Amino acid sequence: MKEGPDIAHVAALIGDPARANMLTALMSGKALTVSELAEEAGVTIQTASSHLSKLNEGGLLRPRKQGRHKYFSLANDDVAHVLEGLMGLAAGSGHLRKRTGPKDTELRKARVCYNHLAGDMGTQLFDSLIAQGHLAMNGENLTLTETGANFATSFQIDLDTLRSNRTPLCRECLDWSERRSHLAGSLGRAFLSRFEELSWVKRDQKTRVVTFSRNGAKEFERQFAVN
């Protein structure tokens, strides 16, 4: 088929091992410099700059300059959504980049997927919100119900601000380790930010691991238990 979107071009950009490592590193949601991304990819700064230029031209990155440094982050949620989906396909097919390490269990339990909670705790959050009637599936669309809006507001999440953004409020994201859905979109981001504000969780920027405090785990289980 000669018409329509050119997925081969985007796939080729992501498919290079060095560029794939850079994009995976940016799934933490943190903007990184050229030198930091070069280290992640295991290439020289000059080579990293060439790769980043291609990714930027392909619409996958958002470059920003601050002082003498230039930072790169993923262009948007759509890019993160595609990357998480590819991770799920790779994991399901047994294509893992390294042997299971000490951080593997922690990553599977709770991690950052660009800007929202993923892993076992992320899927539990999603399942709980569905079970409590706060989220509902209308066909293939995920929506926030009236009771869900009340719950989010009581959780001190500003829905008016979220709804004014261009990012979808609620979105399913297929979790690569759990192979089930977790909550993405601006609401998913808001929940993770609120967990941080409450000191329930702490992010490890280098590994994407999200660690729950003892009190945070207790409160999370109380609010988002799944029978």
Taking the complete model, does pTM exceed 0.85, yes or no?
A: no
CA–CA gap between residue 25 and residue 65 (Å, rounded): 19
Taking all residues of the chain, what is their mean pLDDT, rounded to a whole number?
88
Tokens 């097919």 -> residue: 93
CA–CA gap between residue 179 and residue 25 (Å, rounded): 21
The one-letter code for the residue type at 127 is D
At 2, is the pLDDT very low, low, confident or very high (cuts 50, 70, 90)? Answer: low
What CATH number does the domain located at 7-75 have? 1.10.10.10
The 10s digit of each residue's pLDDT in 16-63 is 999 999 998 888 777 889 999 999 899 999 999 999 999 999 999 999
pLDDT exceeds 50 at position 118: yes
The confidence score (pLDDT) of residue 205 equals 75
Over the Cα atoms of the chain, what is R_g?
Answer: 18
At 97, is the pLDDT very low, low, confident or very high (cuts 50, 70, 90)? Answer: low
The one-letter code for the residue type at 129 is L
pLDDT exceeds 50 at position 101: no
CA–CA gap between residue 69 and residue 65 (Å, rounded): 6
The confidence score (pLDDT) of residue 100 equals 41
Residue % of the chain over a pLDDT of 70: 93
pLDDT exceeds 70 at position 92: no
The 10s digit of each residue's pLDDT in 157-195 is 999 999 998 889 998 888 877 778 899 999 999 999 999
Taking alpha carbons only, the member of 49, 45, 44, 41 closest to residue 17 is 41
Taking alpha carbons only, the member of 44, 48, 59, 46 closest to residue 19 is 48
The confidence score (pLDDT) of residue 163 equals 93
- Residues 140-155, mean pLDDT to the nearest whole number: 95
At 99, is the pLDDT very low, low, confident or very high (cuts 50, 70, 90)? Answer: very low
Domain limits, the chain: 7-75, 79-224
The 10s digit of each residue's pLDDT in 11-25 is 999 999 999 999 988
At 95, is the pLDDT very low, low, confident or very high (cuts 50, 70, 90)? Answer: low
